[in-house]
Chains A and B, each alone.
Chain A
Amino acid sequence: NAGVMQNPRHLVRRRGQEARLRCSPMKGHSHVYWYRQLPEEGLKFMVYLQKENIIDESGMPKERFSAEFPKEGPSILRIQQVVRGDSAAYFCASSPNPANTEAFFGQGTRLTVV
């Protein structure tokens, strides 16, 4: 059973471009979480999705950021018109149950905006 797969591992974008981050959860996991981590800081919750549904996006900026978890395929975190402040590591985690359970993290995508 492969772990949570994120790609790309590293992504460089120029200001104003779009960034697409992909996350394939572990097999059998229908709960996906996205976190953002800035250097020397903790993980900050962005969004929680179940298959085809966004359950909680309270941690996501209202503009330029969107997330989806389609019936088929990976979860996507999309950042439009990136700015330098979007540079961070973005981690995806999945779990088999919605609560009180271990979350399995991917290795993250390190986004650099130049």
Chain B
Amino acid sequence: QQPVQSPQAVILREGEDAVINCSSSKALYSVHWYRQKHGEAPVFLMILLKGGEQKGHDKISASFNEKKQQSSLYLTASQLSYSGTYFCGTELASGGYQKVTFGIGTKLQVIP
């Protein structure tokens, strides 16, 4: 089941904050976040596992609410380099290997 991401697109000015949400209709085992710039490979941001954790590095962090079956990605004090499409991917169970279903993405554009 494909996770639902919101918003579909967002435009920020440098320095502003953003939140991208990812929700599932089914219980989740893990949530994966990637960023992809146009014409490039998706780049890993972080994985959150069942248990309701929160992770972050630099000014990008994420939370995983197991009960609500959703995850949120927080971008603080956005930089021009944050522009791109953000994908969340979900796993419903640990099958011994990664089988991630990705959402359609959230396009983020940071302008000066």
Q: Which residues of A contact B (CB under 8 A)?
A: 3-4, 31, 33, 35, 40-45, 48, 55-56, 91, 95, 98-108
Complex Cα gap A30–B65 (Å): 32
Given A42-B105, A100-B49; A4-B99 close (CB under 8 Å):
no
B41 touches A43 (CB 8 A): no
A42 touches B98 (CB 8 A): no
B97 touches A101 (CB 8 A): no
Given A42-B87, A107-B41; A99-B96 close (CB under 8 Å):
yes
Given A98-B97, A106-B41; A42-B104 close (CB under 8 Å):
yes
Cβ of B72 under 8 Å from chain A? no
Q: Which residues of A contact B95 (CB under 8 A)?
A: 56, 99
Given A91-B41, A101-B47, A108-B41; A48-B98 close (CB under 8 Å):
yes
B99 touches A45 (CB 8 A): yes
Q: Which residues of A contact B98 (CB under 8 A)?
A: 31, 33, 48, 95, 98-101, 103
Q: Which residues of B contact A103 (CB under 8 A)?
A: 32, 44, 98, 100
Expressed in whole angstroms, the minimum distance between the Cβ of A31 and any Cβ of chain B is 7
